[in-house]
Amino acid sequence: MTTNSLYFVNWWTDTLIIGGLSIVTWVALLAFHHSADAQPIFWFALVLSLVVNYPHFSATVYRLYQSPDNIRQFPVTAWGLPLILFGAVAASLWQPGAIAPYFLMLFLLWSPYHYSGQTIGLTMVYARRAGFPIGRRERMALSAFVFSAFVCGVIRFQQTGSSGGFTDFYGMSVPAFPLPDWTEAAAQAVMWTGALVFVGFAFVWCFGEKRLMPPIVLLPALTHFVWFVPGASLKSFWIVVPFFHSLQYLLIALVMQLKVRIDVVRGEHSWRRIGAEARRWGSRNILGGILLFIGLPAAFSWLPLPLMTIAGILAAAVNIHHFFVDGVIWKLRDTATSSALMMNIAELAGPGAVDLTRPKVVEA
């Protein structure tokens, strides 16, 4: 195993994007941002949304709908699900007081759950790259840690972000999800047990292999912990958590896209080509994100509702669609996906890049 093959790009880039940057931001906000007014950070996050958050949704849509093969392979996700979501959006717009709050509540619960799924996926990818096998027991311990942290986060977000039992979302009052007082203590107990067991497995592996586990393997889970446990009580921080989640996603999605475009099409293998493909993909996704989150609400602005209400409901629908599509297109058990997730970007720059999408052919 080369040093590079542990990372998608290199130590610095992967460490910063996967969690380093968000942990540094949390520490900085904790140390220097003492104002209760989170408005400046909100506006900053909104600007970042245009170039990171919105494109991350667009990247999923692009990945699913860019090829007719994908649409044929996943017809319910490509056609059936948008129809159902269109129905939910129509019902929410028709009854913004009776149905929309529940639709938004569902989205606000699903979103951190989705982040948890990404954390587990990233840990699995880096563990596989490091040669640390994640079997059923390891995965159970990791899931216990990650999903309990998610429950803690939901409780803390509501404590920090809601007033009078309601959370503000795009100017709408979404009811806080009611839970008994002991839930957080129970979730913390499960979370720490899961963490201890997983770290135990990591220690056993280190002793067996006589080497240290690369920190990048544990970084996604540590980052997730910072986002959902200590970070969830800091409003100025959790405003930017979606940005960091999207950043993680874009790194992986970019590598996947480059793999599809450069390796499979069998074009020129060079950094120049990588740069051109990345710019092309990035600009398309920025445009797609603007269409999804600004263009789509503008198209419905003729409805007799505040534009923010329309934008909030549509944003929830785009998010939920993303959660489904993500689950479909990023399954590690899929050979093409898992092999692409094992590569380093430099492999695409050299002429001798290995065609990892067809390992069985190579073996044969």
Partner 1 sequence: MRNTVAGIVLAMFAGSARAADVAAGACDPVLATPREAFLAAGIAAMIACGVTSFFLAGRVSERTHVALAMLVVLVGGFCLFTLFGLVGREIPVAGSLVLLGVIGLFKLMNQFEIRRKPSRSDK
Minimum distance of partner 1 from residue 45's CB (angstroms): 25
Nearest approach, Cβ of 40 to partner 1 (angstroms)? 33
Q: Which is nearer to partner 1, 98 or 299 (CB)?
A: 98
Quick one: 180 or 304, whose CB is closer to partner 1? 180
272 versus 333: smaller Cβ distance to partner 1: 333
Nearest approach, Cβ of 186 to partner 1 (angstroms)? 9
Whose Cβ is closer to partner 1: residue 10's or residue 66's? 66
Q: Which residues contact 44 (CB under 8 A, 6 or more apart)?
A: 240
- Which residues are CB-contacts of 185 (< 8 A; sequence separation ≥ 6)? none
- 120 close to 142: Cβ distance less than 8 angstroms: yes
Residue closer to partner 1 by CB (options 81, 305) is 81
Minimum separation from the CB atom of position 85 to partner 1 (A): 10
User: Tokens 């900053």 appear where?
Assistant: 44
Amino acid at position 216, single letter: I
In angstroms, what is the minimal distance from the CB of 333 to partner 1? 7
Name which of 191 and 216 has its Cβ closer to partner 1: 191
Name which of 69 and 181 has its Cβ closer to partner 1: 181
Which CB atom, from 9 or from 190, has the smaller least distance to partner 1? 190
Least distance from partner 1 to the Cβ atom of residue 111, Å = 10
Q: How far apart are CB 304 and partner 1 at their closest, in Å?
A: 16
Q: Which residues of this chain interact with partner 1, rule CB under 8 A?
A: 74-77, 80-81, 84, 87-88, 91, 94-95, 98-99, 102-103, 105-106, 109-110, 113-114, 117, 147, 151, 154, 165, 175, 177-181, 183, 323-324, 327-328, 331, 333-334
Shortest Å distance, C-beta 99 to partner 1? 5
What distance in Å separates the CA atoms of residue 292 and residue 298, rounded to the nearest whole number? 10
Q: Are 48 and 283 in contact (CB under 8 A)?
A: no
